[in-house]
Structure 1
Amino acid sequence: MDVSASIAARVIASLMIVGSWLDPAAADDWTIAGTLLTPSGIVTDGAITISGQKIAAVGTSATLASAPTSIKVPGIVLPGFIDLHNHLTWNILPRWLPGRTFADRYEWQDTAEYDRFLVTPHTLALNAAACESEIYAEIKALAGGATSVVGSLLPIGHPENAKCAKGLARNLDMASGLPFTQPATNDQCNKGVGSDALLDVVDYEVFPLELPHARLDYLLCELGTGNLRSLIVHLSEGNPRDSSAHREFTMLSKSSSLPPGLIFVHGTALRSEDFAKMTDGTSVGLVWSPRSNDELYGSTTNVAAARLANVTVSIAPDWSPSGSAGVLQEIGYAARHHFVASEKLIEMATTAPAKMSRLDAYIGSLEPGKFADFVVVDAKIDPNAKKPLDPVVKATPADIKLVVVGGQAVYGDPTLLAQLLPQGTKLDTLTVCGSQKAVYLGQSGAVELRKSLSDIQATINAALAKAGSSIPDIECY
């Protein structure tokens, strides 16, 4: 067995160990009552019953009269946000303000200030606090309403990292907890050539054009078999007028097919004719990250042209150094600066990413049989208003009352978590946007580290201090 095959085998073994990442506390049936956002619209006197990891029933309180005693929540219950574009461990770093814009991502990645303010402290943190960085970043994602994320700390070369990405957010590229069958070593795609194993239902590639041709062909083939549900690639990132960034799309589209399940991140340099190719007999998705694009390039993706071409568009924060601290904050930014309707933005954070990643049978909406991934936002909803979801888009992380992943309450207001978890359950507290929140670390990698949230933060800060840096407060907007 070669080195890469040995690493892959150890990674798969580690992931099998963490596959059942939910706590037994999620096993009992329970019900949340309040206003719901369902596929059929807003239900004001609604209820959602959870059984184990999944949603058992959704409807009005009257129709679920036989359900267990319900817990009333304020605001509105939404499907959990699905973040298809992030770089989690970088989110321990402060905001980066270069003071100028760039032509493309290669330009800013080649600057001395990027190396000094981001690369050096990030490297120090990964050397001394890799798991801690992943866990803290997932808490930060939960604080912004995300229940599913990508951009995890991968275990390639470090199988021990598999334990880091379990039990808080649903890590789609590492430990999703969704149905996944590892392809056989001699399946139709690798034909016995020993391609690296898939880690989970999603593969996430930051530099797809640097992949060996055999690896890219393998991933595209597995999209066709369905073993891989989606392949997310960063492409054409830069100023919309940058020819080099635009050429990335030309290179990829001419060298490879564009099958369903393929998702482009950024696409800031894409043009109308490119979007047309993305829907010409296929259904390539697009992930929009407006704040990071605006700050780094002075402009962003032509989302209007993408939607005219019927490209499915989702929204995600990229990373907090130049993007938003979480999905909720990114939604608010897009509403304020790009004037996208609230209902469309909520769709772009829930059903759209579920659809483009071909995971909509499992997540993305409040429906019976799907995983119980949802978020409660304390926003006053008037279903008869012209724009009833405006209060959600105007909310901040202070208004996130509860986050549930796979039927497990993991984050939210301390009093609400205490109601949903067994008596005496240990909660770690933190202050977010002036509001006290709590996180339940009992089913995460923090258990194996035997560290509390304060311990995790202290370990990260000790590493960052060597570069004159520290963990920033979670931004509200």
Structure 2
Amino acid sequence: MQAESRIINDGYLAIKEGRIAAITDDQRKLPAEFSGKVIVETEGTIYPGLIDLHNHFVYNVLPLWVVPKRYDNRSQWPSHPEYRAGVSKPIKQALAKFSVSAKALVRYVEAKALLSGTTTGQGMRTQVNGGSRLFRGALRFAEQPENESLPPARSMVPDLVVTGATAAERISNFREALNDESGGVYFYHLSEGIDESARRHFSNLKINDLINDKLVGIHSLGLQETDLNHLQQKGAKVVWSPFSNQLLYGKTIDLRALKASGLLFSLGCDWSPTGSKNILQELKVAWFANQQQGEVFSNYELVCAASSNAAAVTGWGAHLGTLEAGKLADILVIKGNEDDAYMQLIKAAEPEVELVIIDGIARYGNLDFMKRLRVDTAHPIEELTIGNRQKGFYLYRENSMINDIGFNTATQTLTEIMRDLPGFLNRMEQEKATLLDLGVDTQEEFTLELDNEFEIESDVFQEYEHPDEAELLADPPMVDAIELDTHTVSGNDYWERIEAQQNISAELKNWLKSCYQH
């Protein structure tokens, strides 16, 4: 991924102490210290690990929501009764609130990302004994990369509104976070929507001089060509989420304007309720959108958006995103060796993911590979089947609070809880009441922060365009049951939900089916 032509047709990659030690096209050229070491013949194509720079991971246990109509901006759809009852409340009122469900949720969504080749994600924060901190597991996270060479990112989900009694304070806080010298880039949901209301949030940043080389504008859907040019001139970047854009708003970013601006961009799934299940699926949607707009970007450039360019967006390009000696060993292997290595990755489905390595540790892959690369005999590899292929997880992480929960246990726990949400809440309330009677502290050990659940402050309420008043004031009850989203792009009624989407084309639906239904 250093250049489109830099492909080694028959190569060897050596790993030492979490970093790539050597890459060569001849085994005899490997450093002498690797003589006699384990060699895994993958018979596949080796890529840098995939980087997903926009995801609300906590919600990725939920199935795809059938979006009821086309929306103009992000302030509208969260008030829809179906969304509140079936997306927001199951997480907010149940799954995120209790340790037993929160731990299972974190394990499940992490594993779900790993089995698609994701090695770095953006966004999952936990509450541990009442204190806020980022989840520590097998995945690398942009906000807590667990490596002193990688500056940690920060993020803000709610729109910055520059009117109202607390406007000066909000602007000051945004500026302070953006320019914080102790951190890296600043992810901000920028102009998510297609109307002037969405674009106004970009104008607010521009007027208040809040755009610089640390700003990463997630979505940026409402921006015009001149706006994209301004971002590029200031050194800012964007994250493109084409499936979520189309599912909610019926269109995605103007790729010709994006290309002309020279703006650095990466890909992000957003979340399973209105986006892709994983970064492999998002690559397929990106490819289709690119075709529809005239093949603006090459296949290589699209893969860059999930690897080398994504690393550059976070400021990590010196350590991740390409396969080079000295870089961190975050690696993906896809089954087979096709002539177009970039299209091979774009078309790949989860069964073709043969190996995922993070920091030199094999975390997921072909069961035989996982057994051969096993270095920790104290913690077993967890077996599973994807398609008809035997795979394995190694999810143990020192000092992680979820080491006692495997993928299969998490799946079973969530399936049972989500089958009867009111029953689960009743059990939790009864357990708390019993503990209180015994004088035991009932504070949950491990819960989840919800970055996509925010309240609009009363002094800026008029800045948002809302649906009708009845919808806004309604308080629908949480659904009684909801199916756990499948860990691959398949199963349950997924394709029926795709067919029912009003805002995406029949051509996109057929393209996605062709990639998975074979």
Give the TM-score range, shorter chain.
0.7 to 0.9
> Deviation of residue 415 (structure 1)?
1.2
Q: Are 1:178 and 1:201, in contact at CA under 8 Å, matched by a contact in 2?
A: no
Query: Aligned residue for 1:207?
Result: 158
Structure 1 counterpart of 2:484: 471
How has the CA–CA distance of structure 1 residues 56 and 105 changed in structure 2, closer, same or farther, with 3 Å as cutoff?
same
The separation in 2 between residues aligned to 1:406 and 1:215, in whole angstroms, is 34
Map Cα deviations across residues 381-405 of structure 1 (whole Å, 9 max, x no partner): 33xxxx4422221110110000000
Counterpart CA distance in 2 for 1:259 and 1:157 is: 36
Letter matched to residue 48 of structure 1: L
1:403 aligns with 2:361: no
Aligned letter for 1:236? S
Q: Deviations over 1:228-284 (max 9, x none)?
A: 221111111113xx110111100112123321121101011100010111122x211
In the alignment, which residue of structure 2 is the partner of 1:170? 140
The equivalent of 1:296 in structure 2 is 248
- The alpha-carbon deviation at position 50 of structure 1 amounts to 0.9
Residue in structure 1 matching 2:29, options 63, 86, 91: 63
Give how far 1:421 is off: 0.3
Given that residues 432 and 474 in structure 1 are in contact (C-alpha distance below 8 angstroms), is that contact kept between their aligned partners in structure 2? Answer: no
Report if aligned partners of 1:98, 1:113 keep a CA contact under 8 Å in 2.
no
Tell me the alpha carbon deviations over residues 13-65 of structure 1, each in whole angstroms, 9 at most, x when there is no partner: xxxxxxxxxxxxxxxxxxxxxxxx55561011211111111111122234216
Take 1:219 and 1:154, find their aligned partners in 2: how far apart are those partners? 20
Hey, what's the Cα distance between the residues in 2 that align with 1:65 and 1:356? 33
Which of 141, 149, 162 is the matching residue for 2:121?
Answer: 149
SS at match of 1:73: coil
The answer for unaligned runs of 5 or more in structure 1 is 1-36, 182-199
Corresponding position: 1:379 with 2:336: yes
Q: Give 1:362 deviation, angstroms.
A: 1.6
Q: In structure 1, how many angstroms separate the alpha carbons of the residues matched to 2:355 and 2:248?
A: 33
- Residue type of the alignment partner of 1:364: G
Contact in 2 for aligned 1:143/1:326 (Cα 8 Å): no
Distance (Å, rounded) in 2 between the aligned partners of 1:93 and 1:445: 28
Question: Corresponding residue for 2:12?
Answer: 47
Say yes or no: does 1:254 pair with 2:190: no
Matched residue SS, 2:125: coil
CA distance in 2, matches of 1:214, 1:132: 38
Tell me, in whole angstroms, the C-alpha distance in 1 between the residues paired with 2:214 and 2:336: 34
Distance 1:209 1:433, change over 3 A: farther
AA paired with 2:316? L
Structure 2 stretches lacking a partner, 5+ long: 162-168, 292-296, 422-479, 490-515
Is 1:272 matched with 2:272? no
Q: Match for residue 192 of structure 1?
A: none
How many residue pairs match? The answer is: 410
- Read off the aligned partner of 1:152 and give its amino acid letter: M
CA shift, 1:292, in A, is 0.9
CA 1:441 to 1:169, structure 2 compared with 1: closer, same or farther past 3 Å?
A: same
| Partner AA of 2:49 in structure 1 | G
Match of 1:243 among 196, 208, 233: 196
Deviation at 1:118, TM superposition (A): 0.4
In structure 1, what is the equivalent of residue 105 of structure 2? 133
Q: Which residue of 2 aligns with 1:95?
A: 64
Aligned mates of 2:247, 2:43 — CA distance in 1: 35
Q: Distance in 2 between matches of 1:388 and 1:136?
A: 30
1:460 Cα deviation (Å)? 2.3
Shift of 1:99: 3.2
Matched, 1:110 2:79: yes
1:370 corresponding residue in structure 2: 327
Equivalent residue for 2:188?
233
Once the 2 structures are TM-superposed, how far is the Cα of residue 375 of structure 1 from its aligned partner? 0.5
Q: Residue 218 of structure 1 aligns to a residue in which SS?
A: helix
Q: What is the distance in 1 between the residues matched to 2:271 and 2:216?
A: 18
Q: 1:271 to 1:154 in 2, by over 3 A?
A: farther
Q: Could you tell me which amino acid in structure 1 is paired with residue 137 of structure 2?
A: G
What secondary structure, in the 3-state scheme, does the structure 1 residue paired with 2:21 have? strand
Task: Sort the Cα spacing of 1:439 and 1:278 in 2 relative to 1 into closer, same or farther, 3 A.
Answer: same
Partner of 1:30: none
TM value normalised by structure 1: 0.81
Deviation at 1:445, TM superposition (A): 7.0
Distance 1:423 1:287, change over 3 A: closer
* Superposed displacement of residue 138, structure 1: 1.2
* Cα deviations by residue, 1:138-160 (Å, 9 ceiling, x for unpaired): 11111221101111124488437
Aligned partners of 1:60, 1:159: CA distance in 2, in Å? Answer: 49
**1:432–1:122: structure 2 CA closer, same or farther, 3 Å change rule?**
farther
Aligned to 1:186: none
Q: Which has the higher contact order (CA 8 A, sep 6+)?
A: 2
The residue identity in structure 1 corresponding to 2:177 is L
Between the aligned residues of both structures, percent identity stands at 26
Contact 1:121–1:463 (CA<8 Å) still a contact in 2? no
User: Residue in 2 aligned with 1:426?
Assistant: 380
> Which amino acid in the other structure matches residue 149 of structure 1?
G
Is the contact made by 1:234 and 1:265 (CA closer than 8 Å) also made in structure 2? yes
| Corresponding letter in the other structure for 2:192 | E
Quote how far apart the aligned CAs of 1:446 are: 6.5
Other-structure match for 1:27: none
Please give the secondary structure, in 2, of the residue aligned with 1:58: strand
Indicate if the aligned counterparts of 1:135 and 1:446 stay in contact, CA closer than 8 A. no
The one-letter code sitting in structure 1 at the alignment partner of 2:172 is A
1:110-168 C-alpha deviation (Å, 9 max, x unpaired): 11111011011112110132232122111111122110111112448843764xx2231
Q: Does 1:461 align with 2:418?
A: no
Give the distance between the partners of 1:161 and 1:462, measured in 2 at CA: 28
Letter in 2 for 1:81: L
Structure 1 counterpart of 2:227, one-letter code: D
Counterpart CA distance in 2 for 1:216 and 1:257 is 8
CA distance in 2, matches of 1:349, 1:450: 31
Q: 1:409-455, CA deviations, whole angstroms, 9 ceiling, x for partnerless residues? A: 10111111111003755122333345432211222676645223222
Rounded Cα–Cα distance in structure 2 between residues aligned with 1:306 and 1:336? 16
Distance in 2 (CA, whole Å) between partners of 1:276 and 1:53 is: 39
- The TM-score with structure 2 as length reference comes to 0.75
CA contact (8 A) 1:134 1:153 kept: no
The 10-residue stretch of structure 1 (449-458 or 343-352) with the greater mean CA deviation from structure 2 = 449-458
Tell me the CA shift for residue 96 of structure 1. 0.6
Is 1:285 paired with 2:251?
no
CA contact (8 A) 1:75 1:377 kept: yes
- Classify the secondary structure of the residue corresponding to 1:134: helix
Task: Work out the CA distance in 2 between the residues paired with 1:410 and 1:445.
Answer: 17
Aligned residue number for residue 328 of structure 1: 280
State whether residues 235 and 267 of structure 1, in contact with CA within 8 Å, keep that contact through their aligned partners in structure 2: yes
